[in-house]
């Protein structure tokens, strides 16, 4: 039986899993749609991994990241919980050691990480406008009746990309409709949309950042060759896509978990946690004018974690065994 490490990245659109052995080789990776239900996504992924690897590996450490990193850490019994910037940077440091710029575009957010000598020196995130994210591309591909898998290839066929107003998702869609009505070809409109997304990203997320090569592009949108080509055209440099571009956050968690458990036992609850009954709830604390919204998680009707309070009244209190 191999010793291995589990990394989980729970985002708004996808939940990604990576199992890595002690030599740094990826034994299994998994991509699941979150669909607004992170608990189900984590448990479904755990169940699938348990079936595939349960008898072959012993999990020695678990790391979580993503917007639901605290929740997923409680469900799994994580040994390390890190933000997305740290997790992605750690993964890139292993996969592309000399990288100086990391472009990451996911389903509903995007980020840029500036690396110098293997260390993060600057970063920025965009979680406000949908025009620079994968969900916007999905919507427009559906509207144009193009499978998203073919979107990038279609963009590469363009001879004269149309300039699309890409500052806002609403304006971009209106402009696309207008260009269609004028008779522009589908290829030129799709290529123009790719370039608009890149402009939006560089003018917002990348504004004021020193973007130096080697440039690494990751996240689900990195699968779109049209976006990659648009970045290369604008930046005038090669854009590298790592082998595991779509699960880099989870891969970074594996590496962090390995370091965190080097001299300690893992807190991992085991593959059977896929069958536990988890129930997240919330309540408003009236103990002071802050009126904090406190999240609490039940495991089989026992409170196992609380967070969200500023003063620690609830998160640091002894956990109750009663259902409330």
Q: What is the pLDDT of residues 75-110, one digit of tens each?
A: 999 999 999 999 999 999 999 999 999 999 887 788
- pTM of the shown model: 0.87
Does the pLDDT at position 322 exceed 50? no
pLDDT of 323 > 50? The answer is: no
The sheet carrying 119-126 orders its strands as 119-126, 110-116, 101-105, 215-218, 239-240
Mean confidence (pLDDT) of the chain = 89
Any idea which of 24-28, 107-111, 302-306 has the lowest mean pLDDT? 107-111
Q: How confident is the model at residue 288 (pLDDT cuts 50, 70, 90)?
A: very high
pLDDT band at residue 263 using 50, 70 and 90 as cut-offs = confident
The string over 101-110, giving b where at least 16 C-beta atoms fall within 10 Å of a residue's C-beta and e elsewhere, is: bbbbbbbbbb
Q: pLDDT by residue (tens digit) across 231-258? A: 999 999 999 999 999 999 999 999 999 9
pLDDT of residue 164: 83
DSSP sequence for 29-64:
EEEEE-TT-HHHHHHHHHHHHHHHHTTTEEEEEEEE
Domains recognised in the chain with CATH numbers: 2-88+249-273 (3.30.420.40), 98-241 (3.30.420.40), 277-324 (no CATH)
Give residue 203's pLDDT band: very low, low, confident or very high (50, 70, 90): confident
pLDDT digit string, tens, across residues 108-164: 788 999 999 989 999 998 866 655 677 778 888 888 888 888 888 989 999 889 888
pLDDT of residue 321: 42
3-state secondary structure of 114: strand
Strand partners, 110: 105, 126
Give CA–CA dist 257/22, Å, rounded.
11
Tokens standing for residue 239: 């854009």
């Amino acid at each position: 039986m191999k010793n291995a490490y589990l990394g989980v990245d729970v985002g708004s659109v996808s939940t990604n899993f990576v199992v890595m052995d002690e030599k740094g080789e990826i034994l299994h990776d998994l991509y699941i749609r979150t669909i607004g239900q992170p608990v189900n996504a984590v448990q479904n992924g755990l169940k699938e991994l348990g079936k595939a690897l349960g008898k072959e590996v012993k999990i020695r450490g678990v790391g979580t990241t993503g917007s639901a990193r605290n929740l997923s850490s409680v469900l799994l019994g994580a040994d390390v919980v890190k933000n997305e910037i740290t997790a992605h940077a750690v993964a890139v440091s292993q996969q592309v050691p000399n990288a100086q710029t990391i472009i990451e575009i996911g389903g509903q957010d995007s980020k840029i990480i500036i690396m110098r000598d293997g260390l993060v020196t600057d970063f920025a995130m965009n979680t406000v406008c949908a025009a620079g994210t994968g969900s916007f591309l999905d919507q427009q591909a559906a509207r144009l009746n193009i499978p998203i898998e073919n979107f990038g290839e279609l963009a590469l066929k363009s001879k004269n990309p149309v300039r699309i107003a890409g500052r806002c998702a609403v304006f971009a869609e209106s402009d696309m409709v207008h260009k269609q009505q004028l008779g522009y070809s589908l290829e030129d409109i799709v290529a123009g949309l790719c370039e608009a997304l890149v402009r939006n990203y560089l003018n917002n997320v990348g504004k004021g950042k020193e973007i130096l090569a080697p440039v690494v592009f990751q996240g689900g949108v990195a699968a779109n060759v049209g976006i990659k080509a648009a970045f290369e055209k604008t930046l005038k440099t090669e854009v590298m896509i790592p082998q595991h571009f779509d699960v880099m956050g989870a891969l970074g968690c594996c590496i962090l978990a390995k370091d965190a458990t080097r001299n300690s036992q893992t807190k991992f609850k085991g593959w059977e946690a896929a069958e536990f009954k988890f129930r997240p709830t919330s309540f408003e604390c009236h103990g002071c004018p802050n009126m904090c919204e406190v999240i609490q998680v039940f495991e089989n009707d026992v409170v196992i974690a609380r967070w969200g309070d500023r003063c620690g009244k609830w998160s640091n209190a002894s956990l109750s065994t009663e259902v409330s």
